[in-house]
Structure 1
């Protein structure tokens, strides 16, 4: 304390500001407690066709379960084709390459297609249905530039020619032609279609009426196609809503852009502000950030983050019926529960359960059971179903960020001082440089400052926790007591686990408060240093171990500095034995699995048994503790203390290596910024509690095993 008094004071000030900021974040998250559910119209239509009931019946049943709206896509040439309407879509390049193509079209169309006014990428739409013709013509007239559309009518045949270009074209993937000897002959791609087939034609009034008659709201999904979108298009879409009596609570865009992008987004923004329409951010399939759409994040900012995160149930989740040995849709329910409680999802885009790629589950009781259970489970977190709530747009004050950064800088100096001997002049000089650097970075590079400070905290504080642990282990190792008391040792181990974890928790607090901006909570921005923050402390752990226990250190050898160069030289120039190579390969493989399993972008997934165990804990507890923490890493610290007191150097090292994984995991838990902070705190407390119980058990088993081994060897036991 006397040596580092000023540094510790600055660290404490940073922690106080960080704690206050964390409480503000928890308060904001605590007000975000209402969850909404919408169902997909097309999926319910397919479900109804496989059941004994019509769509109105299904919609009314879902309404009774708490679902409030039906998501309805706008019609397009593609949907008309899928619904088997009397319509034909072709691309000019394919038409002109067909034999006797002129016989399929009226003479006026043939003459036009033979002219120089068309190219291969134009799309030709043909129908002989008067009503369908009127629907298409009205939609095109209201929405799009008439210069891009040609209409031909002859002998009850109606033909639209839409002006496309190569940017609209759709091609098959490249394929390779081979000769009879299987040698490559030629690579080719074929012109398949055009993106113009998805041009919006507006909502189908009949579908709108079906939804309304069921007592549900219509949630329209506008589709924007950049090269054809403009003010007329946006005006027609919004006029459609007014004409059909729609008041959407959310705007969930289809396609690659927001409505009106690029030149008419302002009209969409004005409509949303005037009618308090929330912007939908659809979570990506890897459960990180959201699906990218041009203009989406800019619109979110202009709406002052009046936005909700959406979980759109993907096909592979729909098919998790009777999954993991469940009797019904329990695993699908678990997925929805995790999305709501752990990832700030406030709108579920629901699709019905499926047995396989084609067959839907039509037993209404399965859906009732799932939603009743889901409502009860989220109620334990104070959540209810209703119109989705949004978070107050929290922005971290720059002076708070600077003060927190100073605390992190103090932690850096403390860590360095454990590796290199620093007198007060250098120590406080280094601290001053760090504080000035933090201040400058927060002003000059504000967007980078958040991430750099968070990454620094995520590395430094778990490393400091290992400094504390192995400083204590050195003391225990040097103790002259040859027969340490088991109960006292367990109490010491529990104490050291709690204190070690408390140091790491400081880093978690710094990360969670530094990255408490609304853009992180909505995952418009993310902390990208997670894997680095898990790997670097392991490297630092190795150095810490060498500092306190050396490497093949000679008896009586003294250190000239806190970083023993002689030990490092011995390690670097030591003869490599085959067993070292094997052990290294095992460690690398374990490390790869450890890092790969930290996200959702890998093929390495938990086993069925592990998932069943996780689900059981999830149902029984408010928050599921992380498996690696309570099963291995936290108990390992108690084991490390036991090993140090009994001078089992190898066991101590391996247990310490497992322990650092748990300490980085504490910070990693709080690095999942979409997870409410209170849940991360509860999860860590649970893990500590279970870890202590298992740690005690592991030590008792280890003690019994060692005693039995000594008996077999004929050694005399003491104590």
Structure 2
């Protein structure tokens, strides 16, 4: 302690900066407690069509569940056709292939096709219904410049051409043609469809009225297409917001770009600021980051982060009815619950539940039309989120929070001090070298934050994620060394268990401090909204395992003699003995098993891996989640924490090799503590609760493991004594 007093003082000051920073983040998170649910009009219409009730009836029922909004998409050619409106749409080349178009359409239309040579990329629209024509005509003329379309006939059969280019063309991927010798014949493709099919034409007044009559509000979703975007379009859309009284609380962007991008996104931003409209960040289906339409991040920054994270109920979630042995929609409810409590989701874009995957038609689903199931699910959901202080309503948002460079620097200095502490246990450093390295590290930290702040905070967080679990294992190895060489064997089992519990708590506390450094340094609002992500999680889990082997070698060496009186440091002889060791087949087998287990462990970290938990494990997780404020992590309380206790137990019983192996496995739990807080979208209180539960459960499981091992050893001893007795007899 005296030798490292300066390092400890720096670490203490850094911890104070950490506490104030983390306090500000916790205050921001604690005020963000209102969850909004928005129904998808289109899919609820499909569901209502399969039920015995009208869409209005369904909306009225959901209005009674605390839901306020229905998301309504702006109409386009594609949606009109899906609603069986009386119109036909052809690509230009399809029209030309029709042999009777001259007889079918008026002379004006025929002349246009003949002399203006309609392009194969154009979209030709025809209808015999005045109402449909008026809707399309009004939508085009009010929203877009005349250069983008031509009105060919204003009498039945009505005809319109939307002028397309190769940029809008959509092609169908098909199989290659082959001849009898299996040689591929090159195919040329004509456009199958066009992006112009999704150009916004206006909102359906009947749909708006249906929503309003049910007591709900319309959350309008304009269709955007950047090639046709203009201020004229935006002014018309904003006017419709006012005319139909459907001011959105959140703008949910569809397509490849935000509303107004790239020509008038500043106009949209001003409108959103004036009307306090939040930008919607739709979480990706792998639950990492969000969908990124062009211009979104720039818009959110321009709004000073007036944004909300959105969970869209993806099709695979809709299909989780009677999933994992549940009797109803409990697993869908679990998905919603995790989204709002663990991932800062504050708007759920809800779609009806699907009972069966397909009907007679392969492209349709059978929806759940039992309202009681929906009612039970939302009532359970509201009860569960209430335990976190959350309610349903108009979505709340987190105010912009940033970490000042001064505080980042102070916290960085704490990480440097912790690094020097770790280094002093690995190498014999004289004071001059030790404090020279310290000064260099302290100087580099503020320089890094001034030059590349958004890179420096990630690097410092990653450094903390590696240093503190490694430092925690220094304490573990120190205690093991002391128990193996400098203490008499403790015969009382309860004392061994108490030592094991104490060791686990102290080791975990050191790793926990590192986790808090990660959570504090990366408290910027962009991390909380997951616009930016802490990268290097797998590195942060792998490097401490390597560091542990080096730390253990610095204490115990490799085939080192006279360990008892030696000070811990990595010696040349240890490295030499290891490198020139005779490799036995059993070593190779163990190495392969260890690497395989390590790959599975690292691959399962995150949501993008194909290696997923088993069904039984997921059911077990659900049980914990339903009965606790936060679900403890299985790898912590079933593996990492109890095995660390066993490592202390082995050391107390002079089992040095088993203590080493236990420490290697125990690193899983220590790196997992930091990993828990590396999920920056998760509120700090929830990560802390998860770690606390893991520690408590881990102690219980650790005691059980030790008792089972003790029983097994005593049985083995009894069997050996019986064999000796029988031989003597």
Give how far 1:418 is off: 1.8
Give how far 1:552 is off: 2.9
CA contact (8 A) 2:112 2:152 kept: no
CA contact (8 A) 2:486 2:564 kept: no
Matched, 1:35 2:35: yes
- Partners of 1:233 and 1:332 in 2: CA distance: 38
CA contact (8 A) 2:401 2:523 kept: yes
- 1:532 alignment partner, one of 531, 536, 539: 539
Give how far 1:654 is off: 2.0
Matched, 1:701 2:718: no
Matching of residues 191-270 of structure 1 within 5 Å: 191-270=191-270
- Partners of 1:317 and 1:85 in 2: CA distance: 31
1:714 alignment partner in structure 2: 721
Q: Which deviates more, 85-94 or 664-673?
A: 85-94
- 2:437 alignment partner, one of 416, 430, 452: 430
Matched, 1:475 2:482: yes
- Partners of 1:604 and 1:444 in 2: CA distance: 39
Distance 1:438 1:97, change over 3 A: farther
Distance 1:467 1:124, change over 3 A: same
Residues 218-251 of structure 1 deviation map (CA, whole Å, 9 limit, x = unaligned): 0001121111001001111111111112222111
Residues 351-385 of structure 1 deviation map (CA, whole Å, 9 limit, x = unaligned): 11111231111111101101111111111111111
Distance 1:241 1:154, change over 3 A: closer
Give how far 1:213 is off: 0.2
CA contact (8 A) 1:176 1:188 kept: no
CA contact (8 A) 1:310 1:346 kept: yes
Residues 388-415 of structure 1 deviation map (CA, whole Å, 9 limit, x = unaligned): 1111111111101111111111111111
1:610 alignment partner in structure 2: 617
1:131 alignment partner in structure 2: 131
- Partners of 1:714 and 1:228 in 2: CA distance: 89
Distance 1:664 1:188, change over 3 A: farther
Q: TM-score, normalised by structure 2?
A: 0.95
1:652 alignment partner in structure 2: 659
SS of match in other structure, 2:509: helix
Residues 141-198 of structure 1 deviation map (CA, whole Å, 9 limit, x = unaligned): 1111101211111761222111211111101125322223444333554421110100
CA contact (8 A) 2:321 2:354 kept: yes
Q: Which deviates more, 238-247 or 450-459?
A: 238-247
Residues 107-132 of structure 1 deviation map (CA, whole Å, 9 limit, x = unaligned): 43343334456432121112121111
CA contact (8 A) 1:521 1:674 kept: yes
Matching of residues 47-196 of structure 1 within 5 Å: 47-97=47-97, 102-115=102-115, 118-153=118-153, 156-173=156-173, 175-186=175-186, 188-196=188-196
CA contact (8 A) 1:11 1:407 kept: yes
1:24 alignment partner in structure 2: 24
2:591 alignment partner in structure 1: 584
Q: How many residues align?
A: 717
Give how far 1:103 is off: 4.9
Matching of residues 481-520 of structure 1 within 5 Å: 481-482=488-489, 484-520=491-527
CA contact (8 A) 2:641 2:666 kept: yes
- Partners of 1:94 and 1:527 in 2: CA distance: 51
1:405 alignment partner in structure 2: 412
CA contact (8 A) 2:556 2:563 kept: no
CA contact (8 A) 2:86 2:127 kept: yes
1:566 alignment partner in structure 2: 573
Matching of residues 611-650 of structure 1 within 5 Å: 611-650=618-657
Matched, 1:677 2:684: yes
- Partners of 2:406 and 2:154 in 1: CA distance: 73
1:688 alignment partner in structure 2: 695
Give structure 1 stretches of 5+ with no counterpart: none
2:457 alignment partner in structure 1: 450
Q: Which deviates more, 121-130 or 59-68?
A: 121-130
Give how far 1:105 is off: 4.1
CA contact (8 A) 1:287 1:600 kept: yes
SS of match in other structure, 1:538: helix
CA contact (8 A) 1:597 1:604 kept: yes
Give how far 1:557 is off: 10
Matched, 1:549 2:556: yes
Distance 1:274 1:703, change over 3 A: same
Give how far 1:555 is off: 5.5
Residues 44-77 of structure 1 deviation map (CA, whole Å, 9 limit, x = unaligned): 1111111110011000000001111100000000
Q: TM-score, normalised by structure 1?
A: 0.97
Give how far 1:565 is off: 2.6
Residues 2-60 of structure 1 deviation map (CA, whole Å, 9 limit, x = unaligned): 11111111111111110111111111100111111110001111111111100110000
2:361 alignment partner in structure 1: none
Residues 498-552 of structure 1 deviation map (CA, whole Å, 9 limit, x = unaligned): 0000110111010000000111100011101111111111111111122222223
SS of match in other structure, 2:176: strand
Aligned-pair RMSD on alpha carbons?
1.9
- Partners of 2:152 and 2:85 in 1: CA distance: 19
CA contact (8 A) 1:128 1:157 kept: yes
Give how far 1:650 is off: 3.1
CA contact (8 A) 2:489 2:654 kept: no
- Partners of 1:124 and 1:581 in 2: CA distance: 69
CA contact (8 A) 1:479 1:645 kept: no
Q: Which deviates more, 703-712 or 326-335?
A: 703-712
